[in-house]
Amino acid sequence: MSSHPQPVPESAPAAAGTTYAAAGVDTAAGDRAVELMRASVAATMTPAVVGEVGGFAGLVDVSALRDYRRPLLATSTDGVGTKVAIAQALGVHDTIGQDLVGMVVDDIVVVGARPLLMTDYIACGRVVPERIADIVRGVATACAAVGTPLLGGETAEHPGLMEADEYDLAGAATGVVEADRVLGPERVRPGDVLIALASSGLHSNGYSLVRRVIADAGWGLERQVPELGRTLGEELLEPTRLYTKACLAMIGALGSEAAPSPIHALSHVTGGGLAANLARVLPAGTIADVDRSGWVIPPVFDLVRHLGSVPWEDLEGTLNLGVGMVAVVAPDSAEAVLRVAQGSEMSAWVLGGVHEAQAYEPQGRVVAGTKGVDGGAVDVFGRYRTA
Q: Where are the domains of the chain?
A: 26-50+68-178, 185-386
Give the Cα separation of 142 and 120 in Å (integer).
Answer: 12
pLDDT for the residue numbered 57: 76
pLDDT for the residue numbered 36: 62
Looking at residue 231, the DSSP 8-state letter turns out to be E
For residue 289, count CB atoms less than 10 angstroms from its CB and return exposed for 0-12, middle for 13-18, buried for 19 or more: buried
pLDDT for the residue numbered 153: 86
- Torsion region of 328: left, alpha or beta (phi above 0 gives left; psi -120 to 50 gives alpha): beta
Are 273 and 319 contacting, i.e. CB atoms less than 8 angstroms apart? yes
State whether residue 202 is helix, strand or coil.
Answer: coil
- pTM of structure: 0.89
105, HSE (Cβ side, Cα atoms, 13 Å): 33
pLDDT for the residue numbered 39: 66
Give the number of residues written for the chain.
387
pLDDT for the residue numbered 228: 96
pLDDT for the residue numbered 20: 64
Amino acid present at 202 = L
CATH superfamily of 185-386: PurM-like C-terminal domain (3.90.650.10)
- Over the stretch 97-107, which tens digit does the pLDDT of each residue have? 999 999 999 99
DSSP E strands, 269-317: 286-291, 296-297
pLDDT for the residue numbered 129: 86
pLDDT for the residue numbered 2: 41
Are 298 and 322 contacting, i.e. CB atoms less than 8 angstroms apart? yes
What lies within 8 Å, CB to CB, of 316 at 6+ separation is 273, 274, 275, 380
Low-confidence residues of the chain: pLDDT under 50:
1-8, 12
CA distance readout (Å), 315 to 79, 184, 241, 273: 21, 27, 20, 8
The CATH number given to 26-50+68-178 is 3.30.1330.10
Are 161 and 120 contacting, i.e. CB atoms less than 8 angstroms apart? no
pLDDT for the residue numbered 290: 97
**Nearest CA among 364, 120, 103 for reference residue 244:** 103
